[in-house]
């Protein structure tokens, strides 16, 4: 359940970043913002996934909170600062 909410937040952030950069600059800058968000998400999830597997044993997995949920929550913390300083800086 938590994964779905975090995925939707990323989709909204990517759409917002695309729209903001496309309207203020060019279409290419909007596309570049989406690529940067996707790259940060992919690399960050790979790194936090390894950390979550070390900290959270498989026996503790439940229906609502798994190792992937923990890794996405850990990823959300630095991404909030990234979005604040690079996407929301002009607002």
Tell me, what's the pLDDT at 90? 67
pLDDT value at position 88?
78
Inter-residue contact 75 to 4 (CB < 8 Å) = no
Average of per-residue pLDDT across 9-23: 91
Flag whether the pTM goes above 0.85.
Answer: no
> Which single residue is written with the structure tokens 């026996």?
59
The half-sphere exposure of 71 on its side-chain side, counting CA atoms within 13 A, is 19
Can you tell me the distance from the alpha carbon of 73 to that of 47, in angstroms, rounded to the nearest whole number?
12
Please state the rounded mean pLDDT for residues 52-77: 91
For the cut 80, the answer to whether the pLDDT of residue 79 exceeds it is: yes
Assess contact for 61 and 71: CB atoms under 8 A: no
Going from N- to C-terminal start, the domains of the chain cover 2-87
């Amino acid at each position: 359940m938590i994964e779905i909410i975090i995925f939707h937040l990323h989709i909204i952030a990517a759409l917002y970043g695309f729209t903001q950069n496309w309207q203020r600059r060019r279409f290419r800058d909007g596309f570049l913002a989406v690529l940067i968000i996707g790259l940060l998400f992919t690399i960050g999830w790979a790194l936090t996934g390894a950390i979550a597997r070390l900290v959270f044993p498989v026996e503790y997995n439940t229906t609502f909170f798994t190792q992937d949920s923990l890794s996405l929550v850990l990823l959300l913390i630095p991404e909030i600062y990234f979005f604040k300083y690079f996407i929301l800086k002009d607002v």
